[in-house]
Structure 1
Amino acid sequence: MEIRSDDGARVRVRPVGYQPGIDPPDDLDGATPGWHDWLLIEVDARTADGQTWSHHYPSLMVEEARALGGWLHGQATAALGLSAPPATVRFTEPNLALRSRVLRRRRLELIVEFSAESLPPWMRRPSSTIYPLILTVSADALATAAEHWAEHCEAYPPRTQSRFPTHGPQPYRRRAG
């Protein structure tokens, strides 16, 4: 998906594959659910003054990526009114976070927060550093981006296998005898 700001800033974000080479945790029973459902996320960003950077990092779990599409769509819908409260979405890996607030009807400010491995290369990297990329966008443009994001995510179903059968109980069969 690509989101372009009125001032020329933009961000392109897309999943490009599952994270390869994930080793299982020592304690599978105590492992975080979805530990092997990490997606490699490619980000290409440009500030309003033309500085660019990109990175390729396992930033989102499959479930988080799918939820992001819903969140973006919800923010686009919220911008159709005037009284939507600011909203934030954060993920397990702190590389990306998004905040939004309605500026006026059908216009909103979307702030993409980059941290850790996702920071622009010109930034210092203490653990608390956050670089906010501020985008002013229309509700329609954000809704389109949300649709594109959802389409990208369809290619990446969760790889986690449930411990429970998904097909329901087996029918009772009489034993011959």
Structure 2
Amino acid sequence: MEIRSDDGARVRIRPVGYQPGIDPPDDPDRAAPGWHDWLLIEVDARTADGQTWSHHYPSLMVEEARALGGWLRGQAKAAGGPSPTPAMVRFTEPNLALRSRVIRRRRLELIVEFSAESLPPWMRRPSTAIYPLILTVSADVLAVAAEQWTEHCEAYPPRAPSRFPARGPMLGPFG
């Protein structure tokens, strides 16, 4: 998916495969547990002032990636409501998080937070560092991005049952 901000900033995020070195089995019914838990996510970002960076990292579990499409759709829909509340989605791996808040009817501020291996190369990398990429977009742009993301994720089947309980995205207040 690609999301372009009014000020020229943008982010492209897409799943490009399962965790490196782990190929899909020929027979999924006989696969070892965990082969398709993590997706390799490709990110290409640009700030409003033209600084760019990109990376590939197994940042999302399959079920988290699928849930992200629903979260984006929900934020686009909420932007048309009477009093939408800010929202945030975080994942098991802390490389990416997204926040949204409505700035006026059908206009949102989407903040893509990068940390750990996803930080821009010009940043120092203490374990607590976060780089917020702020995108001002319309609800329609976000809805299109949600559909693009959902289409990207269709190429990766849902996670097989595990002996561990699944942890979905952690939704919480904007904070």
Q: TM-score, normalised by structure 2?
A: 0.83
How many percent identity over aligned positions?
89
Inter-CA distance 160–11: structure 2 relative to 1 (3 Å threshold): same
- d(CA) in 2 for partners of 1:126 and 1:37? 27
Q: How many Å separate the matches in 2 of 1:48 and 1:77? A: 26
Q: Say whether the 8 Å CA contact 2:63–2:159 is kept in structure 1.
A: no
The Cα shift of 1:36 comes to 4.4
- 2:41 touches 2:56 (CA, 8 Å); kept in 1? yes
Aligned to 1:13: 13
CA contact (8 A) 1:82 1:104 kept: no
Q: Distance in 2 between matches of 1:132 and 1:35?
A: 31
3-state SS, counterpart of residue 93 of structure 1:
coil
Counterpart in the other structure of 1:50: 50
1:161 Cα deviation after fit:
4.5
**Distance in 1 between residues matched to 2:61 and 2:54, nearest whole Å:** 19
* Cα contact 1:34–1:61 (8 A) shared by 2: no
Does residue 1:73 correspond to 2:73, yes or no?
yes
Distance across 2 between alignment mates of 1:83 and 1:97: 23
Q: Counterpart of 1:133 in structure 2: which amino acid?
A: L
Task: Tell me the distance in 2 between the aligned counterparts of 1:17 and 1:36.
Answer: 9
Cα deviation, residue 21, structure 1: 3.2
The answer to whether the aligner puts 1:88 opposite 2:69 as a matched pair is: no
Q: 1:107 to 1:8 in 2, by over 3 A?
A: same
Q: Which runs of 5+ in 2 are unaligned?
A: 23-32, 164-175
Which residue is equivalent to 1:118?
Answer: 118
User: 1:160 Cα shift?
Assistant: 2.3
Say if 1:37 and 1:159, in contact at 8 Å, map to a contact too: yes
**How has the CA–CA distance of structure 1 residues 160 and 71 changed in structure 2, closer, same or farther, with 3 Å as cutoff?**
same
2:36 touches 2:62 (CA, 8 Å); kept in 1?
A: no
What is the root-mean-square deviation in Å for CA atoms of aligned residues?
1.6
Q: Which runs of 4+ in 1 moved over 3 A?
A: 33-36
